[in-house]
Amino acid sequence: MRLHVIGLGGAGGRIADRLAADHGDDPFLAGVHAFDTDMDALGALDALGEERRYRFGDAAGGDGLEGDLHAGRRLGDAHASELGRAMDDQGPSLAEAFLIVVGLGGAAGAGAAPALATELSRLYDAPVYAFGFLPTRDETEEPDDDGPRSASSGGAGGAASGAGAGGAASSRDEPAPPAAHRPLAERNAARTLDALSDECAAVFPFDNAAWLRPSETLAGARDRLNEVAVERIAALFGAGETPEGTATPQQVLDASDVARAVGDDGEIAVIGHATQAVEPPDSGSKFGLGLFGSSEPAEVDTSAAVSAIETVIRKAARGKNTVEAPEGRADRTLLVVGGPPAWLNREAIADGRRWLAEETGSDAILSGDAPIPEGDEVFAVVVRSGIDEPDRVREIRETIG
């Protein structure tokens, strides 16, 4: 599907920048912009050209909003139309969906996101989704007397932001700055989640805390968590778009499939993803071209293909998701399996769908495949919507009663 990505605030801008760097030439990425009130944060982005970066909110004086969500909401209401016009250079009318990426605990991005979602829905007949980073508990706690907390990044959205309150240091090649105390992060996130649920077709939360390794700081994990988020965004929204001249999927995943899977009532959706390396068919191995240079690739060993498909589907379903799916249950589930065409065993995929239906309790499983002729891995994406509220989301909502 053709996706237009808008990164709002520090966290969103860095994800938009990473998408442009890693997937700028991929056909699914129809447009990408970064909007912020902070000039330093925008200036530190690497991959997005100046024409894709836009500062709004002169009232902020070129700085961040220091956690003032109400100020962010006022700026969003005042500048939503302006931000919509700033996207015109990339033909947003051609997009099949919009994805607003934002740090939910911040102010500038979180404050402006609901108004921008409303504006995009008014202008275009395409669903608007939100991908939001949940703050960690540590961000709202007072620092110890012994020194600053080590588990907060200080910017909007935790690890994805990776900047201090000023947002100046955001390049992937620069060290993370000291943490900043954000006492309002959880309350901001709760209010922003509610607002985005009202204005967006679906919300994809990303639980920073769940992805931290033992003894790992949020600032230190910034790049890795950003990579995880970008990988899942690309795996889901890029699955139905194949470069011209490559293999055609047997079950094409399109924008309507994603829309049916995640719904249009602002529900929380969860993304699971897994990969497994395989021998490419043209590698010259026993799974590739024949020993005598035959132009016909040898068939992949059936048991190896079945094992690979089963493994990635189960890992995508039961592994760490963008946010917890309580008991793995869901009203609606989407499965995408991709990789070298010779490895996409149809019976194994059908068996995987049946297993996933039992695992999630979904009445029906939507599915698609994503052949990658030159690929060297098999992957699976499992998206669940209509889930029980994750514990971390419930905790955040309870901060505002």
Assess if residue 390 is contained within a domain. no
Assess if residue 350 is contained within a domain. yes
Assess if residue 33 is contained within a domain. yes
Considering the domain architecture, whether residues 74 and 126 belong to the same structural domain is answered as: yes
For residue 202, pLDDT over 50 is answered with yes
Domain that holds residue 315: 267-385
> What pLDDT is recorded for position 248?
62
CA distance 154 to 170: 12
Last residue of a domain, one of 220, 238, 256: 238
Percent of the chain clearing pLDDT 70 (strictly above): 81
Considering the domain architecture, whether residues 215 and 290 belong to the same structural domain is answered as: no
Last residue of a domain, one of 221, 238, 255: 238
pLDDT band at 164 (very low <50, low <70, confident <90, very high): very low
> What pLDDT is recorded for position 150?
40
Assess if residue 399 is contained within a domain. no
Tokens 């590739």: give the residue.
288
Of 27, 97, 93, 92, nearest to 256 by C-alpha is 97
Look at strands 332-339 and 267-277 and give their pairing: unpaired
CA distance 173 to 175: 7
**What CATH number corresponds to the domain at position 100?**
3.40.50.1440
Has 199 been labeled as part of a binding site? no
CA distance 401 to 399: 6
Count of CB atoms situated within 10 Å of the CB of 50: 9
Helix (H, G, I), strand (E, B) or coil at 46: coil
Q: pLDDT by residue (tens digit) across 252-293?
A: 788 999 999 999 999 999 999 999 999 876 544 444 433 334
In angstroms, the Cα distances linking 372 to 39, 239, 348 are 40, 10, 18
Considering the domain architecture, whether residues 227 and 339 belong to the same structural domain is answered as: no
Considering the domain architecture, whether residues 372 and 318 belong to the same structural domain is answered as: yes
Considering the domain architecture, whether residues 77 and 125 belong to the same structural domain is answered as: yes
Of residues 62 and 252, more confidently modeled:
252
The answer to whether the beta carbons of residues 116 and 12 sit under 8 Å apart is no
Assess if residue 310 is contained within a domain. yes
Residues in the chain: 401
Of residues 293 and 326, more confidently modeled:
326
Helix (H, G, I), strand (E, B) or coil at 274: strand
Has 188 been labeled as part of a binding site? no
CA distance 190 to 32: 26
Side-chain-side CA neighbours of 181 within 13 Å: the count stands at 7
Considering the domain architecture, whether residues 300 and 345 belong to the same structural domain is answered as: yes
Secondary structure letter of residue 341 according to DSSP: G
Handedness of CA 95, 44, 131, 221 (dihedral sign): positive
Tokens 């099949």: give the residue.
96
> What pLDDT is recorded for position 322?
97
Residue 221 CA, distance from chain mean position: 16
Q: pLDDT by residue (tens digit) across 205-247?
A: 999 999 999 888 888 899 999 999 999 999 999 987 665 555 6
Of residues 241 and 52, more confidently modeled:
52
Tokens 């016909």: give the residue.
296
What's the total number of domains in the chain? 2
Considering the domain architecture, whether residues 47 and 108 belong to the same structural domain is answered as: yes
Considering the domain architecture, whether residues 157 and 290 belong to the same structural domain is answered as: no
pLDDT band at 298 (very low <50, low <70, confident <90, very high): low
> Which residues face 334 on adjacent strands?
366, 383
pLDDT band at 178 (very low <50, low <70, confident <90, very high): very low
> What pLDDT is recorded for position 139?
74
Assess if residue 194 is contained within a domain. yes
- What is the overall mean pLDDT for the chain? 85
**What is the pTM (predicted TM-score) of this model?**
0.87
> What pLDDT is recorded for position 397?
95
**What CATH number corresponds to the domain at position 283?**
3.30.1330.20
For residue 163, pLDDT over 70 is answered with no
Q: Cβ neighbours of residue 9 under 8 Å, at least 6 residues apart?
A: 35, 36, 38, 41, 102, 103, 106, 107, 108, 109, 110, 112, 155, 156, 157, 161
Considering the domain architecture, whether residues 307 and 189 belong to the same structural domain is answered as: no
Considering the domain architecture, whether residues 12 and 51 belong to the same structural domain is answered as: yes
pLDDT band at 88 (very low <50, low <70, confident <90, very high): very high
Considering the domain architecture, whether residues 285 and 217 belong to the same structural domain is answered as: no
Last residue of a domain, one of 191, 218, 238: 238
Assess if residue 244 is contained within a domain. no
Considering the domain architecture, whether residues 213 and 310 belong to the same structural domain is answered as: no
For residue 394, pLDDT over 90 is answered with yes
The answer to whether the beta carbons of residues 133 and 11 sit under 8 Å apart is yes
Assess if residue 52 is contained within a domain. yes
